[in-house]
Amino acid sequence: MPEIVLHYIWEHCLWAGFEQQTTDGRKVEILSVGEHNRDAGPDYNHARIKIDGHEWVGNIEIHVCSSDWLRHHHHVDKAYDNVILHVVRTADKPIYNARGELVPQCELQYPSDKDYLSALFDSAQKMDSAMSRIGCAEQLVRDPELISKGWRKSLLRKRLECKRASIERLLEITKGSWEHALYISLARNFGFHTNSVPFEQLAINTPLSYLQKHRNNLFQLTALLMGQAGLLTGERVNGLMDERSLLKEYDFLRTKFNLTPLDGSIWKHARMRPQNSPELRIRQFAQLLYQSESLLSKILDTDDLKELEQLFAVDKIGKSSIEILLINTVLPYKYAYALYKNNAVKAERVMALMEHIPAENNTIIRQWKVLGQQINNAADTQALLHLYQNYCQHHECINCEVGYQIFQDRQLKLF
């Protein structure tokens, strides 16, 4: 059986109605299957299960056989230390994490009819489509104009309002410091999705005030950030002169500020191009802090996209990466600050800037194109991302202009 079928069975709860237990006979209750992780690391994050009545929250790894755990070297990878259950078709041996702890295993029980499983496999081949949860896909193919320009603009505003709410939560954490909040947001977005959470943790764990004390020294900024990221441990520097020097400098700064580094295993490296490696991104972030005095005021004072792009022109960072930073951090901050100052006109101008940034290119946007949607710029992509993530994925069709319109049309046909 292909592993993708087990993923499909797990994610779509086709095990429901079957009693599940660990290989040592303990009852397993699945409260939440978690979120499918399409990057490096365990297959599902934030799952919730009960084993013999004790609730666990963590990651799920799925394999056809237990021995695949060893074949994929998970037993020496700290990224798998938070796996709370190893779900398999056949448990052919006990498995352990990098800490030497025995990992609970469950031979998943589900319908065993061969024809049924064959149909599952056909469905599983299609499950990677980002649009698999869009109920109105057929109607949109026939009439792409169902998503009107007005609805797109409303979705863009909702998208920016969500980001504004996130900024306001950061302002609470940073006691109203817009500069500190921007620093954390920028760090998160320098992770470019794959390492966004570790990057955010790095920023929270490394106070901006400490970095500002050394902002005129790029070497010290780099040492502080790389060290705090947990990427300058003795086993990682590999004898490289540059990294040995950074480690020595970090040891001094760590003592000076009484700092505790992150666990370096939280960073994802697998299936990643060299230009997206966490080490390079951290060095670029250090360079940005080094060359950008009064970054917040510069961002707020200009609406010229070329000037804003130039603020983020650091070594080896491409134009598309800068555009993502503008879309996800810079413009949302300008929007939030304009409303903070009760300047609705300024907020509208920020929304209009989205129309002058090229469209994003990702799996969800490519699938919208398949459905016939015209996509010209970042205003379109941000609107359609919000539509998919906040309506389609959660089946909020009745609250969507498209779904409501289809519902009304059906009602009219009934009468």
Count of beta carbons in the 10 Å neighbourhood of residue 18: 11
- Phi, then psi, of 65 in degrees rounded to 5: -125, 150
**Residues 47, 173 share a domain:** no
Residue-level pLDDT at 6: 85
Q: 4-8, 70-74, 152-156, 217-221: which range is least confident on average?
A: 4-8
Q: 15-29, 196-210, 360-374: which range is least confident on average?
A: 360-374
Q: Cα torsion for 153, 154, 159, 165, to the nearest 10°?
A: 130
Q: Is the Cβ–Cβ distance between 91 and 107 less than 8 Å?
A: yes
| Pair type for strands 44-51 and 54-65 | antiparallel
Return d(Cα 157, Cα 163) in angstroms, integer: 10
Helices (H), 12-89: 68-71
Q: Is residue 396 part of a domain?
A: no
What is the CA 345 to chain-centroid distance, rounded?
Answer: 32
**Residues 187, 38 share a domain:** no
Question: What is the extent of the structural domain holding 74?
Answer: 3-126
Q: Is the Cβ–Cβ distance between 114 and 31 less than 8 Å?
A: no
pLDDT, tens digit (0-9, with 9 covering 90-100), for 17-69: 889 999 999 999 999 898 888 777 899 998 999 999 999 999 999 999 999 99
Of 334 and 293, more confident: 334
How much of the chain, in percent, has pLDDT values that exceed 90? 67
Q: Is residue 53 part of a domain?
A: yes
Count of beta carbons in the 10 Å neighbourhood of residue 219: 14
**Residues 325, 176 share a domain:** yes
User: Three-class SS of residue 412?
Assistant: helix
In eight-state DSSP terms, residue 38 is -
**Residues 175, 301 share a domain:** yes
Residue-level pLDDT at 12: 78
Q: Is the Cβ–Cβ distance between 330 and 303 less than 8 Å?
A: no
Q: Is residue 149 part of a domain?
A: no
Q: Is residue 401 part of a domain?
A: no
**Residues 109, 239 share a domain:** no
Mean per-residue pLDDT of the chain: 88
Bridge partner residues of 54 (DSSP): 51
Tokens of 296: 């917040």
Q: What is the mean pLDDT of residues 366-388?
A: 92
**Closest alpha carbon to 355 in 130, 149, 174, 97:** 149
Q: Is residue 307 part of a domain?
A: yes
Residue-level pLDDT at 134: 79
Return d(Cα 164, Cα 185) in angstroms, integer: 11
Q: Which residues have C-beta within 8 Å of that of residue 281, sequence separation ≥ 6?
A: 190, 191, 192, 195, 199
In eight-state DSSP terms, residue 96 is B
Q: 188-192, 289-293, 361-365, 384-388: which range is least confident on average?
A: 361-365
**Residues 84, 28 share a domain:** yes
**Residues 350, 238 share a domain:** yes
Return d(Cα 280, Cα 222) in angstroms, integer: 10
Helix (H) / strand (E) element for 342: namely: none
DSSP string, 192-216: TTTTHHHHHHHHHHS-HHHHHTTTT
* pLDDT above 80: residue 380: yes
pLDDT, tens digit (0-9, with 9 covering 90-100), for 291-310: 988 999 999 999 999 999 99
**Residues 284, 175 share a domain:** yes
**Residues 209, 352 share a domain:** yes
Return d(Cα 60, Cα 83) in angstroms, integer: 5
Q: Is residue 351 part of a domain?
A: yes
Q: Is residue 400 part of a domain?
A: no
**Residues 213, 353 share a domain:** yes
**Residues 247, 100 share a domain:** no
Return d(Cα 108, Cα 20) in angstroms, integer: 7
**Residues 214, 264 share a domain:** yes
Which of the four pLDDT bands, split at 50, 70 and 90, describes residue 127?
A: very low
Q: Is residue 136 part of a domain?
A: no
Q: Cα torsion for 135, 140, 146, 152, to the nearest 10°?
A: 80
* pLDDT above 90: residue 110: no
Q: 14-28, 39-53, 109-123, 240-254: which range is least confident on average?
A: 109-123
Q: Is the Cβ–Cβ distance between 234 and 160 less than 8 Å?
A: no
**Closest alpha carbon to 389 in 158, 198, 144:** 158
pLDDT, tens digit (0-9, with 9 covering 90-100), for 139-184: 888 888 999 999 999 999 999 999 999 999 999 999 999 999 999 9
* pLDDT above 60: residue 16: yes
Residue-level pLDDT at 412: 55
Tokens of 83: 């796996």
Return d(Cα 294, Cα 134) in angstroms, integer: 44
The type of residue at 34 is G
How many structural domains compose the chain?
A: 2
309, 333, 357: which is the final residue of a domain? 357
Q: Is the Cβ–Cβ distance between 349 and 303 less than 8 Å?
A: yes
pLDDT, tens digit (0-9, with 9 covering 90-100), for 91-103: 999 999 999 999 9
pTM: 0.70
